[in-house]
Amino acid sequence: LEGEFYWLDQPHSLSYDEAVQACLDDDAEIAKVGHIYAAWKLRGYDRCDAGWLADGSVRYPISRPRKNCSPTEAAVRFVGFPDKNQVSYGVYCFKAEQVLY
């Protein structure tokens, strides 16, 4: 995973298009499903916030199971493919590592 996968702190929830733009505004791209799995599996990334991903799905990574998040298992929890105009979620972004030659 060459780069940084992260939750973008926003003052309010976003629609899909707003989520894509928010990452671009932060010099990043909206994270792909592969990014969230790699961050979860390789780095133990844990966040109980449902966020948009590039494929239009909403997911969140749980490494430490707990009440209200993923009580029984460590997993990347899948919320679904909501209407992209729904303003209900945050966003996970991915910033590719700058490779300087």
pLDDT tens digits, residue range 77-92?
999 999 999 889 999 9
Total-model pTM: 0.92
pLDDT tens digits, residue range 32-79?
999 999 999 999 999 999 999 999 999 999 999 999 898 899 999 999
pLDDT tens digits, residue range 7-33?
999 999 999 999 999 999 999 999 999
Q: How many CB atoms lie within 10 A of CB 25?
A: 11
- Please give the full DSSP string across 11-76, using - where no structure is assigned: SS-B-HHHHHHHHHHTTSEEPPHHHHHHHHHHH-------EE-TTS-EEEEESS--TTT-SS--EE
Superfamily per CATH, domain 3-96: Mannose-Binding Protein A, subunit A (3.10.100.10)
Sequence ranges of the domains in the chain:
3-96
Location of structure tokens 């060459």: 2
Please provide the size of the chain in residues: 101
Location of structure tokens 């991915």: 94
Report yes or no: 51 and 59 within 8 Å, Cβ to Cβ: yes
pLDDT at residue 100 greater than cutoff 90: no
Instruction: Look at residue 101 in the predicted model and tell me its pLDDT.
Output: 65
